[in-house]
Structure 1
Amino acid sequence: MLADIRSEHDAWQAMNASGSYSDATALGAAALGASTELFLDHAWRRFLSVVDHAPTLLDRCRPATSPWPDDASALSRLADAVSDAEALLDEIVHGDAVPEQERRARAWPAIETWLTDGDAFLRQARLSAPHRRPALPVTAPARPLPAARPAYRSH
């Protein structure tokens, strides 16, 4: 999801910087506002997946024991950003209605933090993921087990 958000963010930034659509048609102020709202809405929907899954993964990360101990501060910022997004989501779901403009304004700092520091998270999450044992190579066909002998019993 972070890669999708980053890709959309890059396209949105390029369009805003150029002042034109990809077909070179000039963007007016209304179009810039609409493209920003559309980008933020898409980013929020994708970011909800990060909000769902990141807390568990962040808990598994141990930067102090990794080759990148300096990632600890980035992971702290990411955890705070997720916490802020969880609070916003909780308010949207269980509280009063949050106007779209306010939701966009409150969601963007969390999303931006993840775009900025997400690489540290990915690095640490990969390192902390449970490792699967490699499959054992099959070198010879399996032989059937010998038939079991009855156990000796003394009466």
Structure 2
Amino acid sequence: MFLDHAWRRFLTVVDHAPTLIYRCRPTSSPWPDDTAALSLLADAVIDAETLIDEIVHGGSVSSQERNARAWPAIETWLTDGEIFLRQARVSAPHRRPALPVTAPARSLTTGRPALRSH
């Protein structure tokens, strides 16, 4: 039961992690030692993608076999997921800061005479 639930949750990781892992540059981050953990996670995701492909196209993978083959990838995610998340955050494109909500609104009529109809 736990592994079935973990597998379903891990599918989201498998869907999104490859692109994010590709963007991560641990050697230029504050945590250059994260390279090994990201490599392990990338391998785990590749293994999970292979398993998914077999399930989708072959269909003959029992839930017991799926769980046995998926567990190493899930375990890697549970172990190194935080490292991946911090590297993904550091590698994300930076957005321009938003204006503070407390910024005063400028009047549209300041400096312009009001139009009057005759």
TM-score (norm 1): 0.65
The RMSD of aligned alpha carbons is 1.5
| Mapping 1:68-87, distance limit 5 Å | 68-87=31-50
Matches of 2:4 and 2:107, distance apart in 1? 56
* TM-superposed deviation, 1:140: 4.3
Which residue of 74, 80, 85 corresponds with 1:122? 85
Deviates more, 1:116-125 or 1:78-87: 116-125
Which residue of 58, 66, 73 corresponds with 2:29? 66
Instruction: Specify every segment of 5 or more residues in structure 2 that has no aligned partner in the other structure, as ranges.
Output: 113-118
Instruction: Specify every segment of 5 or more residues in structure 1 that has no aligned partner in the other structure, as ranges.
Output: 1-37, 147-155
Query: Relative contact order (C-alpha < 8 Å, sep 6+): which is higher?
Result: 2
How many residues were matched structurally?
Answer: 108
Find the counterpart in structure 1 of residue 115 from structure 2. none
| Mapping 1:19-30, distance limit 5 Å | none
Matches of 2:76 and 2:26, distance apart in 1? 18
For the pair shown, the structure with the greater C-alpha radius of gyration is 1
Q: Percent identity?
A: 75
Find the counterpart in structure 1 of residue 104 from structure 2. 139
Find the counterpart in structure 2 of residue 52 from structure 1. 15
* TM-superposed deviation, 1:131: 1.9
